[in-house]
Structure 1
């Protein structure tokens, strides 16, 4: 089976190449078949690979296939080697399976777009780049995929480039993520200098033998890798690009949030977990950043009126939970929540896109309402996704994955009551803004007329994702609920559990508290936005609450802060610097060149007699010089 690994990324790459060079001449049906079929073939091959991996685990714990040697310079010979172990297996499954559903959805969603072929070409390249990222056996190849997803995010966020705001959002995403990418690149140089290799399995073996726990070099390296993860996964302080990234089509948002871009940072930290384990300081910083991010993004989601921006801030918050778990050393819990989040977040974005299309591109939830009976399939699937996001106990996947993280935040080896308290508050806020979103969108009076109803290419992916948003949680049940260990066993080889387990009755208590946070959030939203909306109006009459609302709505003022501290000073210096001494030198050269041009142009009068006279004078001068010499 390992000899066929290359086919998994090869299909999307082939689709990209075909659509790039021939897409404009292909009928739309063949564009859809090529773009969607390529990812579907990868998903089918991935499912077969996963079944073989689970039924007959390889002796060394992984599949690997070396395609060729990339370069061989002075002993540095990175190879194009594809690598599948239990960690990358989960990511490749999510990328291909959810990516295939998003592509199927896009067949109808993008049908009227004039750049149909360009859209599918970019989407195929996006999937290919992410597959290279998670299947790479060395950090250099991983970095190639890392930069590939950055490029694709730029192309797809700014897909409707005729609108200047979309181009700005694309540039913003590209530039902000470059900050983290630069730090990560430096980290790769440090790793190669220390270990003489960029092959990931070799690094994970050598690191504990060369570095002692707590050494400064381990901390520096881990923080450099963390910076790369913060940019791609939109965590503090590099989170500001993601809400603006909603400028792209809804399928792009679903792919970025569920299966590609923002999950890259989670994968990087999980893949390089040995280095982070050698630096308790770096691991604590990961947990603190994740905790702060989930709370800040949650409050911002609570104040948004654009349905896609609510979901964007929700993603930032949920990725924050994953970073919290990674910082706690609860590697399995982080990857479990990643998988579950991918299902319900893809569902919510695709359903939101269907709603926006049905209401003639209306994004404002306060202009929606009354859609429960008009769009029943979208309502029920959106409700299931929202229930999983809010972590409704026992019946949704989101409860089981988030409950693990909350439990480890309290009882884990690195857990503290403060981390648990903030994560608990985040769970309450999540349930509140999620219920608010459902109420404003589907209940109350209809404020916008439904103009378009979704077809099967849109509804079928929603139904499939809704199924997994409920059932995927049963892969890993808590100890006191039977504790099915399929997911833990799958990841145990590369991500050993480092957290403590507690007795069943204590775990049950914290599960009840988590359920209480969810139901309290649901009731709060029901009371404020459905039963007693006048309470919101009273709150808005307070200057303090209005200012706080605007502060949260602006993303806690990070954009304004960066504009003031970074952007404006750079622009100011650039304006001063545009007339510096160096520029004067080039301006002088230009002035002299223009002067010679004007002088010589005087000789071009267009009169043949003057040209003949000039020729005679020239001959006389030359002969005179000859005689004198």
Structure 2
């Protein structure tokens, strides 16, 4: 039975985590690598087997594995159950497939690192929790995976825990996500109150059975879920943890940004589409958050100098696109972009890691240049990723991004045209800052220091090599695979306007068939082609501006930055959002906590109670020590007085008792 294999998908990575986490320190590195890769590869094979089953004629639309009741109390029960439908299958393919390639790359990238066994134990743990998250059949089990990837991300981001910046980045990611998780928890309490269950099937079936339900408590639940999604998927206002996550090793960035954690919020919103479709207000909030985040992060990405931070803000921006898609009801388009993004963003991060490896730890693009002939495989693979994210045909993101823009344009959202325009401007900015990265890294004059110095401590290769060098093939092979997927990965979603059948949308129809009102809006092929042409021209404009500033006139960008210094400084300092949060939220909380704990609790209650106990003891001892005078006549007097007191109590007490 296929259902019997579902348990193995999360359990195998967890087994790898247990082995490497407990005895990995004593194992040779080859054994640690073998364990980590084997327990990641087998789940990928199982997912491929599930594809064969679900694509076969007469295949089931759902595969379930249910254990004995997990929580069973009067009137409430939650099963430990896994479910695979078409949406789950796509997510599992991304997690296990891209995740395995990142594991393989890590074996080369982290080869000389201390804590090698610990790193792979954490990677396997991440895979375990993410698999649980997407396989879960209930909100509660999804929340277990949700919290688990938060824990694993904390461990991975803070892998270099001896560096304050890495330790602080790990804490920041963990704490900011707790804010979002609080919203998720409140949503679950409301679900139990109104539905008496946390099962996806039961909740969505009841909503479907009551077509008159709109807004109200459904909007409250949906908005609280959005709070959770903004934390996990790094959207305004809880996006601030993701850029700092660059403090982890580069494979961690690829894993968190492309294949796992940040996609969890988009997956959750898509999974709960039945709920969101009954609340136009909540959908509008999702669309506005997505559009604002996409534009906001793209603005910051245009001026970043660290190659990984450009990609980090790019991730925040692209996640905004996915939120925008879900907000206009185009859930299938959002998942389609999630899939293509996994390909090209994993490729871009791993290729950036290969550049950093080639330069022995250098991450500042101002110290790069003219690398295309010195690391040709890295150059050509990264080129595929850059052209893909820019949205140029026939690369993957052209089809998924344009599907989102088209759906926003034809949606019944009152702000649909504005959302489309924001998405279009963001697409041009994305093209600009990605080609800026491409030109500054691979073209122009070389600014590489020979030998490069390791100031980032991103990996341990600097002590073992000198000069610019291409990465080993264990790192390049995943780049080649991801480069191919970045080109052809979008072909499963070629729309009818371009002569395709949008296979991915049809594949997801069983999941979203009762969902998106947008799916029922018939747009014209001519309109879709026109909008696609406009977006391609916008992407080409971004390419041209980047070429003009960084290749044709290499000094002009500095001159522009000098003339528009206030705007440039605003972008360079990320709109001072971190500083505002620090001043308005973090400092008052920490100061208030310090006053409360050290002033009232520590000094007042803890110290005060200790001092009071001491003073009381001293006072009593001062009185009672008078009894111990050493005078026999005094003792005789006290004895007589005590005897008299006892007799009085016996006499008068007996009299009172008799009454």
Q: TM-score, normalised by structure 2?
A: 0.89
| Conservation of the 8 A alpha-carbon contact between 1:258 and 1:343 | yes
Counterpart in the other structure of 2:231: 231
The CA deviation at 1:592 is 5.3
Q: Distance in 2 between matches of 1:519 and 1:416?
A: 24
Change (3 A) 1:576 1:135: same
Counterpart in the other structure of 1:589: 609
| Conservation of the 8 A alpha-carbon contact between 1:214 and 1:281 | no
Corresponding position: 1:457 with 2:474: yes
The CA deviation at 1:452 is 4.1
Q: Distance in 1 between matches of 2:443 and 2:632?
A: 96
Counterpart in the other structure of 1:494: 511
Q: Distance in 1 between matches of 2:15 and 2:381?
A: 33
Counterpart in the other structure of 2:175: 175
Q: Distance in 1 between matches of 2:595 and 2:471?
A: 55
Q: How does 1:327-342 map to 2 (within 5 A)?
A: 327-342=327-342
Counterpart in the other structure of 1:52: 53
Q: Distance in 2 between matches of 1:52 and 1:598?
A: 81
Range that drifts further, 305-314 or 564-573: 564-573
Range that drifts further, 289-298 or 451-460: 451-460
Q: Please list the CA deviations of residues 235-275 of structure 1 after superposition, one character each: whole Å capped at 9, or x if unmatched.
A: 01111110001000001000000111100000010000011
Change (3 A) 1:592 1:8: same
Counterpart in the other structure of 1:402: 401
- Report how many aligned residue pairs link the two structures: 612
Counterpart in the other structure of 1:186: 186
Q: How does 1:100-499 map to 2 (within 5 A)?
A: 100-210=100-210, 212-394=212-394, 396-414=395-413, 416-448=416-448, 449=450, 450-496=467-513, 497-499=516-518
Which 5+ residue runs of structure 1 have no aligned equivalent?
600-614
| Conservation of the 8 A alpha-carbon contact between 1:296 and 1:556 | no
Change (3 A) 1:622 1:256: farther
Corresponding position: 1:539 with 2:560: yes
Change (3 A) 1:386 1:581: closer
Corresponding position: 1:514 with 2:535: yes
Q: Distance in 1 between matches of 2:103 and 2:315?
A: 21
Structure 1 residue matching 2:151: 3-state secondary structure: helix
Q: Distance in 1 between matches of 2:445 and 2:633?
A: 98
Q: Please list the CA deviations of residues 411-437 of structure 1 after superposition, one character each: whole Å capped at 9, or x if unmatched.
A: 233362111111110110010000000
Change (3 A) 1:482 1:288: same
Q: Distance in 1 between matches of 2:484 and 2:108?
A: 21
Range that drifts further, 270-279 or 445-454: 445-454
Q: Distance in 1 between matches of 2:166 and 2:634?
A: 67
Q: Distance in 1 between matches of 2:253 and 2:602?
A: 45
Counterpart in the other structure of 1:574: 593
Structure 2 residue matching 1:79: 3-state secondary structure: strand
Change (3 A) 1:618 1:190: farther
Change (3 A) 1:626 1:83: farther
| Conservation of the 8 A alpha-carbon contact between 2:233 and 2:319 | yes
Change (3 A) 1:529 1:591: same
The CA deviation at 1:483 is 2.3
Change (3 A) 1:590 1:520: same
The CA deviation at 1:597 is 10
The CA deviation at 1:392 is 1.1
Q: Distance in 2 between matches of 1:122 and 1:345?
A: 21
The CA deviation at 1:55 is 1.6
The CA deviation at 1:33 is 0.5
| Conservation of the 8 A alpha-carbon contact between 2:254 and 2:345 | yes
Counterpart in the other structure of 1:75: 75
Counterpart in the other structure of 1:7: 8
The CA deviation at 1:463 is 0.3
The CA deviation at 1:71 is 1.9
Range that drifts further, 501-510 or 126-135: 501-510
Q: Distance in 2 between matches of 1:506 and 1:590?
A: 78
Range that drifts further, 374-383 or 525-534: 525-534
Which 5+ residue runs of structure 2 have no aligned equivalent?
451-466, 620-627, 644-659
Taking only aligned residues, the RMSD between alpha carbons, in angstroms, comes to 2.4
Structure 1 residue matching 2:599: 3-state secondary structure: coil
Bigger radius of gyration, 1 or 2? 2
Q: Distance in 2 between matches of 1:294 and 1:284?
A: 15
The CA deviation at 1:626 is 8.6
